[in-house]
């Protein structure tokens, strides 16, 4: 009879993966509910997710803008939801911290949200952020007065996501674009109330102002009814102490890894082009050893030692 106390390689694999997923969801839920301010870092592939994790970020934002940009695509749902999901799966496989995915509008109606949410659970993604714009979306910082979906329709998506989640601690963040679209504070608050009622675990109040005044005012009027998330891309001068005093739960740094990669790659390519040599850049770029380390080469060599015949 097999000795049940000895765990054969591969045995209980599914159980372990489920446990891992459970703990990622629990970790993300705890971060969102915690009264301490949490910083969530953008990533657009497994490598940037790994770097963000190693730098100490407790959660990753799988940014729609950054993922589509890294594919050379506009942030207009030109990347399909399965393509975004594939990238996020590589990220989830590569890091131990939870991932909150930017689910845009949910890629359709509540039907699409149900399928998306189930797939996120299967792929190890701990949270989903949905925004109340219409499909296909346009980045919040483009154009004026973008149309919003009726609040009732968006609530259907939120209810569908909460009902479809595979883990009790899966986090659904409802993002309102009411301020971005110029609809005003009352509309933003009314929508947030409805979204909370529909089951959202947190509200992302988005703003494209160059100061944090309107999100701080929203937070004051919201009176901590549920955790608040902000994305200070445009009000980047705001110090963290302002978010702490406003009792914001999470700050998402939404695109800085992508933008720094663009600048670094351009600098390196320009220098190599100009000097017709890689000598000048060699000491300033990541070593090959670092690439091997970040991509699990040591673990692959360990597998060779154990299993190669
Ligand atoms: C993203 O990162 O894709 C976002 C945040 O949705 S923002 O681009 O700032 O609207
Ligand atoms: Mg986005």
- State the pLDDT at residue 19: 54
Torsion angle of alpha carbons 229, 161, 139, 188, nearest 10°?
-50
Structure tokens at 201: 């675990």
Atom of ligand 1 minimally distant from the CA of 64: 3
pLDDT interval class at 28 (50, 70, 90): very high
What integer best gives the mean pLDDT of the chain? 94
CA 281 to ligand 2 center in whole angstroms: 33
Which of 63, 87, 88, when mutated, tests ligand 1's pocket best, judged by the most ligand atoms within 8 Å of its CB? Answer: 63
Rounded CA-CA distance 113/157 in Å is 6
Q: Encode 153-176: b = buried (16+ Cβ within 10 Å), e = exposed.
A: ebbbbbbbbbebbebebbbbbbbb
Question: What lines the ligand 1 site, CB under 6 Å?
Answer: 63-66, 102, 139-140, 231, 233, 254-255
* Mutational test site, ligand 1, from 146, 255, 257, 258, max ligand atoms within 8 Å of CB: 255
Is residue 2 pLDDT above 70, yes or no?
Answer: no
pLDDT one-digit tens code per residue, 214-264: 999 999 999 999 999 999 999 999 999 999 999 999 999 999 999 999 999
Q: Provide the 10 A C-beta neighbour count for residue 68.
A: 23
> What is each CA distance from 63 to 57, 68, 88, 178, in whole angstroms?
15, 8, 9, 20
- Fold observed for domain 13-255: TIM Barrel (3.20.20)
The token pair that represents 179 in the structure block: 């301020």
Centre of ligand 2 from the C-alpha of residue 102, in Å: 6
Inter-CA distances, 131 with 48, 146, 155, 174, 294, Å: 24, 12, 11, 6, 33
- Is the CB of residue 170 less than 8 Å from the CB of residue 25? yes
Is 1 a residue whose pLDDT tops 70? no
Q: Looking at residues 45-66, what average pLDDT do you find? A: 98
Whole-model pTM? Answer: 0.93
Q: Where does CATH 3.20.20.60 sit in the chain?
A: 13-255
- For 161-196, what is each residue's pLDDT tens digit? 999 999 999 999 999 999 999 999 999 999 999 999
| Whether residue 75 lies in the annotated active site | yes
- pLDDT at res. 148: 97
Select which of 75, 102, 104, 167 is catalytic. 75
Query: What is the per-residue pLDDT across 79-95, written as a single tens digit (0 to 9) for each?
Result: 999 999 999 999 999 99
Q: Which bound ligand lies closest to the C-alpha atom of 61?
A: 1
Atom of ligand 1 nearest to the CA of 63: 2
pLDDT of residue 145: 87
13 pLDDT band (50/70/90 cuts)? very low
For ligand 1, atom 8, which residue shows the shortest CA distance? Answer: 65
């Amino acid at each position: 009879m097999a000795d049940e106390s000895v765990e054969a390689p591969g045995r209980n694999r599914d159980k372990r993966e489920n446990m891992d997923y459970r703990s990622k969801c629990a970790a993300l839920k705890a971060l969102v509910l915690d009264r301490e301010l949490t910083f969530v870092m953008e990533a657009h592939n497994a490598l940037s997710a790994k770097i963000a994790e190693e730098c100490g970020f407790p959660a990753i934002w799988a940014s729609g803008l950054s993922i589509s940009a890294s594919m050379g695509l506009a942030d207009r749902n030109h990347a399909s939801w399965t393509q975004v999901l594939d990238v996020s799966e590589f990220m989830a496989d590569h890091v131990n911290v939870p991932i909150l995915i930017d689910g845009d509008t949910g890629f359709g109606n509540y039907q699409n949200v149900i399928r998306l949410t189930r797939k996120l659970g299967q792929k190890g993604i701990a949270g989903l952020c949905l925004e109340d714009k219409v499909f296909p979306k346009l980045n919040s910082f483009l154009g004026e007065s973008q149309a919003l979906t009726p609040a009732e329709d968006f609530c259907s998506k939120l209810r569908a996501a909460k009902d479809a989640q595979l883990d009790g601690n899966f986090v659904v963040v409802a993002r309102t674009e009411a301020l971005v679209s110029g609809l005003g504070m009352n509309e933003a608050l009314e929508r947030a109330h409805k979204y909370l009622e529909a089951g959202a675990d947190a509200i992302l109040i988005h703003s494209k102002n160059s100061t944090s005044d309107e999100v701080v005012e929203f937070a004051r009027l919201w009176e901590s009814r549920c955790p608040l998330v902000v994305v200070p891309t445009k009000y980047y001068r705001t110090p963290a102490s302002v978010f702490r005093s406003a009792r914001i739960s999470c700050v998402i740094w939404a695109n800085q890894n992508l933008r720094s990669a663009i600048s670094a790659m351009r600098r390196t390519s320009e220098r190599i082009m100009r000097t017709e040599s890689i000598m000048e850049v060699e000491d300033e770029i990541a070593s090959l050893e670092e690439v091997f380390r970040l991509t699990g080469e040591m673990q692959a060599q360990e597998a060779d030692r154990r299993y190669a015949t």
